[in-house]
Amino acid sequence: MESPDKSFHMTTDEFRRYGKAVVDWIADYYDRLESLPVLAKVQPGEIRASLPAEPPLRGESFDAILPDIEKLILPGVTHWQSPNFFAFFPANASAPSILGELLSAGLGVQGMLWATSPACTELETHVLDWLVGMLGLPEEFLSSGAGGGVIQDTASSSALCALLAARERATNFVTNRSGCDGRLVAYTSTQAHSSVEKAVQCAGLGRENLRLIEVDDRFAMRPGALAQAIERDRHAGKIPCFVCAAVGTTSSNALDPVAQIGPICRDHGIWLHVDAAMSGTAALCPEFRHIHDGLDFADSYCFNPHKWMFTNFDCDCFYVADRKILIETLSVLPEYLRNKATESGAVFDYRDWHIPLGRRFRALKLWFVIRHYGVEGLQHHIRRHVQLAQQFASWVESDERFELAAPVPLNLVCFRHRSGDAFNQELMDRLNRSGDLYLTHTRLQDRLTLRLCVGQTNTESRHVERAWQRIREEAAKLEAAPRSATR
């Protein structure tokens, strides 16, 4: 018979050994990352087909497990941390952040209540307060006043929490009790991220009650059109409750004019959420803080260190000007979570600031990043990314075969070859197939547009130069190809 004391756990000595091996593997991966094809080349189902059909009955040695990362997993990995990754928006990372993540996993605490791990809550509050100063955000967002910040998993969750709080404020918390009556309306621009539409669905407003406001020729929301839509809804007996403005839209990095949208929201008592998921990080540099003009009007705001601030996914910083509304919206207190600290009213219980109950110690990685780089280090790299994107934009402008498709306020360049959609599609596909770089696309003015975003941690001038060289090379080959192939 098996001894009841028999253990299958990894010993701490084994953990020490294999932990070092994993860190070495990651360091080696970063050393060779630049030479790997950026986009995974596997076909659907290929990775699964290479895995055993059944799980192992007997545990395996870690010596056998780790090499399978190389053999079975890497072929299906798109290298988001490659300096040649220019697609979507980045999800960048850095060594201090990865180490923070490792420590968070090692401590393995649940920070749902202050009482379940006080350091988890207090470090988070502290670091989010630091960021208010670092980004020059309104003081209302500081925890020392009525507001405060919390780490959410994503900007999508922030949009949902903001909308739920807006919904409850507009209905005096009746909706939480009785459900939606179909009269609440939300507004965002035609260029807003799809997470706003998802939030509207999840919050029970119904997609028909989301108004997509038209944009100007810079793809930014027209405040006049917003005001008209609100008036129309009021006359129709609807209850406008939520506006989401974007500071840096996903498609083209357009900056909605928050300073003009804000007064409209204030006059109508509408909750204003500002989504700066990608571009908020730019405000680390005083010269880019203008992107936040008008943020004083915002009831809530978010930006993603997991996009551009060298903090690995997931880490979205969400701020509210009045935390009481958010907490009253999301708080449900069962007996088993009651405790003295909560009842004292002297602590934050972050479970009341978002949807899940459980929460990881995510502030550690953010703390490590800020301490490792310092404000100056972060500013240096953000500035550099913006400079490189601006340089790329100037090359596009000076090549008559190409054109810019939108303004370039920061680090995203939207551009296209003048030969039309099929040509641009083929150009992008060829570049991505080559593995040399990874670009994605959008549609602007109903034309296929290529997007190049400079935001990967290790992207330097030579990577951007090479990207432009490869784009021009492939374009030249396509220009020389028979017309029918691409037009």
Q: What is the binding site for ligand PLP (CB under 6 A)? A: 89, 154-156, 193, 195, 246, 248-250, 275, 277-278, 304, 316
The minimum distance between CB 279 and ligand PLP, in angstroms, equals: 8
Question: Which CB atom, from 100 or from 248, has the smaller least distance to ligand PLP?
Answer: 248
Question: Which CB atom, from 117 or from 154, has the smaller least distance to ligand PLP?
Answer: 154
The minimum distance between CB 252 and ligand PLP, in angstroms, equals: 11
Structure tokens at 455: 């935001």
The minimum distance between CB 317 and ligand PLP, in angstroms, equals: 11
Question: Which CB atom, from 37 or from 455, has the smaller least distance to ligand PLP?
Answer: 455
Q: How far is CA 82 from the centre of its chain?
A: 18
Question: Which CB atom, from 154 or from 411, has the smaller least distance to ligand PLP?
Answer: 154
Question: Which CB atom, from 151 or from 285, has the smaller least distance to ligand PLP?
Answer: 151
The minimum distance between CB 427 and ligand PLP, in angstroms, equals: 23
The minimum distance between CB 456 and ligand PLP, in angstroms, equals: 15
Question: Which CB atom, from 315 or from 478, has the smaller least distance to ligand PLP?
Answer: 315
* 186, 163 contact by CB (below 8 A): yes
Question: Which CB atom, from 247 or from 347, has the smaller least distance to ligand PLP?
Answer: 247
The minimum distance between CB 253 and ligand PLP, in angstroms, equals: 9
Instruction: List, edge to edge, every strand of the sheet that includes 412-417.
Output: 402-404, 412-417, 447-453, 440-444
User: From CA 211, how far away is CA 190, in angstroms rounded?
Assistant: 9
Question: Which CB atom, from 81 or from 195, has the smaller least distance to ligand PLP?
Answer: 195
The minimum distance between CB 483 and ligand PLP, in angstroms, equals: 36
- Mutual angle of helices 363-398 and 95-107, in 10-degree steps: 150
How far from 178 is each of 186, 204, 333, 427, CA to CA, in Å? 19, 12, 19, 54
Question: Which CB atom, from 149 or from 248, has the smaller least distance to ligand PLP?
Answer: 248
Residues 6+ apart with CB under 8 A from 419: 401, 478, 479, 486, 487
The minimum distance between CB 154 and ligand PLP, in angstroms, equals: 3
Question: Which CB atom, from 198 or from 430, has the smaller least distance to ligand PLP?
Answer: 198
The minimum distance between CB 275 and ligand PLP, in angstroms, equals: 5
The minimum distance between CB 314 and ligand PLP, in angstroms, equals: 7
